[in-house]
A and B are shown apart, each in its own frame.
Chain A
Amino acid sequence: MARKPSPQQEAPSNVSKDELLQYYRDMLLIRRFEEKAGQLYGMGLIGGFCHLYIGQEAVVVGLEACAKEGDKRITSYRDHGHMLACGMEARGVMAELTGRQDGYSKGKGGSMHMFSREKHFYGGHGIVAAQVPLGAGLAFADKYLGNDNVTFTYFGDGAANQGQVYETYNMAELWDLPVVFVIENNQYAMGMSVKRSTKSTTFFGRGEAFGIPGEQVDGMDVLAVKAAGEKAVAHCRAGKGPYILEVMTYRYRGHSMSDPAKYRTREEVQKMRDERDPIESVRDLLLTGKHATDEDLKAIDKEIKEIVNDSAEFAKDSPEPDLSELWTDIYADDLPQGSAEEHA
């Protein structure tokens, strides 16, 4: 099927060729990784819940382009893309999906529960909206410690109807916490469309009640996401408190692997893919702007495919966790606790 021309034919002058190539590469890695995860799920190598990020790649890639070292991120259970975008290894993520020893959580967390202290990735949370106050808490810690780090707190349009989001908005603004609330509005909370869940359908506007500025962003356009992200991050770093980005996006796949997605038409999905695909848009920019040739892009495709295949092989070969792992990591080692003998 012929693609309609992308709304943006030329790259804005303030975006370099290298940046465009980086976004293309990062989004493609997420897309191919998720396709592979879906495949491994079908083979029975991945179990339980598995929520794919296909279609939403521009959101996290655009925002990660605004982050500096020390910034934190936290998200929901649809988290594979966020982990890859912040630099976590495809191997470790895939091995966690297969429940193996070399996974980021030693196989004990699974798709929804992965973390990286090193990359400041705080999960991976399976309870809808629980990550919102947790994210504000990460920002609280940075403000307490007096640094200029920012926390990106991602949640969906479904989570946006949970009460704890608004308790968090209130306190985040009250205390000027450096947190960017990123609402990934993919228009469906599992099977419930936004219109069936609320009459207040512009989610960023709900921040107004608490004094939090925000805006809606085209989440299928990585450059638009990045531009809005920079504004939000600057606001937070300047000590002005939180900012809300409602990023309009779309997931191509079902809510999870077992979702037949009967709540929307095949045509609706196909139209998005054909007209608004975030990766194809950047590809067009690269080609029409003569920043890259077909050959260049093919080479990137091949490189990505190798990374993803390697991660899959790694995840299949990694051993299952030792049975002793059942009993580890329940409690952190305690600091030495003074005892009476020590005082004697």
Chain B
Amino acid sequence: MATEILMPALSPTMEEGTLAKWLKKEGDAVKSGDIIAEIETDKATMEFEAVDEGIMGKLLVAEGTQGVAVNTPIAILVEEGEDADAAPAPKAEAKPAEAKAPEAAGEQPGKSAVEEVATPQPKPRSPDWPEGTKMKTMTVREALREAMAEEMDRDETVFIMGEEVGEYEGAYKITQGLLARFGHRRVVDTPISEIGFAGIGTGAALAGLRPIVEFMTFNFAMQAIDHIINSAAKTLYMSGGQMGCPIVFRGPNGAAARVGAQHSQDFAAWYAAIPGLKVAMPYSAADAKGLMKTAIRDNNPVIFLENEILYGRSFEVPDLPDFTIPFGKANTVRSGDDVTIVSFGIGVAHALEAAKLLEQDGIQADVIDLRTLRPLDYDAILSSVKRTNRCVTVEEGFPVGAIGNHISAYLMENAFDYLDAPVICCTGKDVPMPYAANLEKHALITPAEIADAVKKVTYK
């Protein structure tokens, strides 16, 4: 009987890929374990092995096809003597991906796969860049890479170190091509020794270099948090201003998809609590680029929290030779008068989706992307809330000691008379991240929950 071969998910967050090369032709015998194709994900080119045995009956997707969704039939395997064309015809259309980003997974039933993965775009704005600036489309991944490369070109003391940043081209491909361009002196592969290389990076920064320390994910930075806080953040103060520590600690933070409790945690509130650190957590590619360049130039330790699910998302980025975004300036990514939704990082995607849902009910949300958590743009929140009189905060992290708690306390102290409803903090649930797909979905904050919270504070 003919068997469909489906486009495989080759990483936890893969939604689609490129069928780079077929290694079996129609009519070739296929044994279990044979490599039948090379598939390019946004992170790497992977070999795809056959599971079943048979004859390659028909190749359904041509070599070089991009954007092949996970679970799309790509070939038909037949038995000896069987005719591929006689086999039941596979559905021509791509099936919706199953390994999609959690926030996109089935929130709006009935929408097509393509629409579901569409990235909510913040409205193009100035004054981050001048009116009429030429724009280019980039993924967050490319934006981060470009920012680092530009700063390495600009300043000889900037170097990057971390696990798999060089020869492997980055576990998430953020540093792809940097080794070839800058060499081993400035792109330093480390062994798996988080506390060791975080300490070495910090020491190098105390001596005047500008290290970018990549953590493969921020979950592993817990091994190194002593150096981030006790060594990097506090030394300037303890030395009476003598020993600055210009260092960037960066890497993906927060939940990816289906990787369980130890690999899915948002540390924004932890680092934002520490005087001496600066904390950036961008949503869009433009912010990722502009904030990364600012982080590298900053004379203080900066925690740069990225997001694996956002790495492959595309945004418009200004095509400027030296584009930076200052810390401490929030961005109003959507304007409205009925409620203020404050978020950062991937929370902004959820907030924008919620705003779209609310629009159908006639509720117009002001959506503020904080972009940096330390410094925090209190003025932007305050001026919006004074206008809307209602506020909902959105983040992926745990509910106790959340950034939203801090904002709601700040608003109570500084805008009590302006509030027409209590501030609601939408967060991830108070549980370690579960593995099961349905449980994981419920552990994360969703646009529907945000919309419900907004309806509560607007009494609708």
List A residues at the B interface (Cβ < 8 Å): 72, 74, 103-109, 113-117, 122-127, 130, 132-142, 144-145, 163-164, 167-168, 170-171, 174-175, 328-335, 337-341, 343-344
Contacts and interface: CB of A to CB of B under 8 A. Distances in A.
B129 interface: yes
Contact of A141 (B126, B193, B203): B203
Given A133-B196, A337-B324, A105 B240 contact: yes
A113 B241 CA distance: 12
Contacts of B227: 130, 133-134
Contacts of A341: 127
Interface stretch (B101-109, B292-300, B347-355, B428-436): B292-300
Interface of B: 126-130, 159, 185, 188, 190-191, 193, 195-209, 226-227, 230-231, 235-244, 246, 275-276, 278, 294, 297-300, 320-324, 326-327
Given A127-B230, A329-B241, A167 B193 contact: yes
B242 A115 contact: yes
B295 to A, nearest CB: 10
17 contacts: A108-B238, A109-B238, A113-B238, A115-B243, A117-B242, A133-B198, A134-B199, A134-B200, A134-B202, A137-B200, A139-B203, A140-B200, A171-B191, A171-B193, A174-B191, A331-B299, A343-B320
Given A109-B239, A168-B200, A329-B236, 12 more contacts: A108-B237, A123-B239, A127-B226, A135-B203, A140-B207, A140-B209, A171-B190, A171-B200, A330-B275, A330-B276, A343-B129, A343-B130
A113 B196 contact: no
Nearest to B322: A338
Contacts of B200: 133-134, 136-137, 140, 168, 171
A343 B322 contact: yes
Interface centre among B200, B244, B299, B321 (most CB of A within 10 A): B200
Contact of B209 (A141, A333, A340): A141
A129 B218 CA distance: 23
B282 to A, nearest CB: 15
B201 A137 contact: yes
Interface centre among B129, B185, B206, B326 (most CB of A within 10 A): B206
A74 to B, nearest CB: 8
A142 B203 CA distance: 11
The 5 A-B residue pairs with the shortest CB-CB distance, nearest first, are A137-B203, A133-B199, A167-B196, A141-B207, A167-B193
Contact of B300 (A103, A117, A145, A331): A331
Contacts, number: 178
A130 B324 contact: no
Contacts of A122: 203, 206-207, 243
A142 B294 CA distance: 25
Nearest to A329: B241
A303 B262 CA distance: 61
Contacts of B201: 137
Contacts of B197: 133, 167, 171
A338 B324 contact: yes
A95 to B, nearest CB: 11
Contacts of B322: 338, 343
A337 B130 contact: no
A317 to B, nearest CB: 19
B230 to A, nearest CB: 5
A42 to B, nearest CB: 25
Nearest to B200: A137
B300 A104 contact: no
Nearest to A149: B207
B159 to A, nearest CB: 7
A140 B243 contact: no
A53 B200 CA distance: 27
A145 B185 CA distance: 10
A99 to B, nearest CB: 12
A105 B239 contact: yes
B244 A332 contact: yes
A172 B61 CA distance: 50
B130 A340 contact: yes
A337 B197 CA distance: 28
A144 B201 CA distance: 12
B409 to A, nearest CB: 21
Nearest to A146: B185
Contacts of B298: 334-335, 337
Nearest to A105: B240
A141 B195 contact: no
Contacts of A331: 236, 276, 278, 299-300
Given A130-B231, A334-B299, A138 B130 contact: no
A104 B243 CA distance: 12
A332 B199 contact: no
A331 B299 CA distance: 8
A134 B238 CA distance: 15
A144 B230 contact: no
Interface centre among A109, A142, A167 (most CB of B within 10 A): A167
A258 to B, nearest CB: 22
Nearest to B326: A337
A164 B204 contact: no
Nearest to B329: A339
B242 A116 contact: yes
Nearest to B186: A144
A164 B275 CA distance: 25
A175 B188 CA distance: 10
Contacts of B326: 337, 339
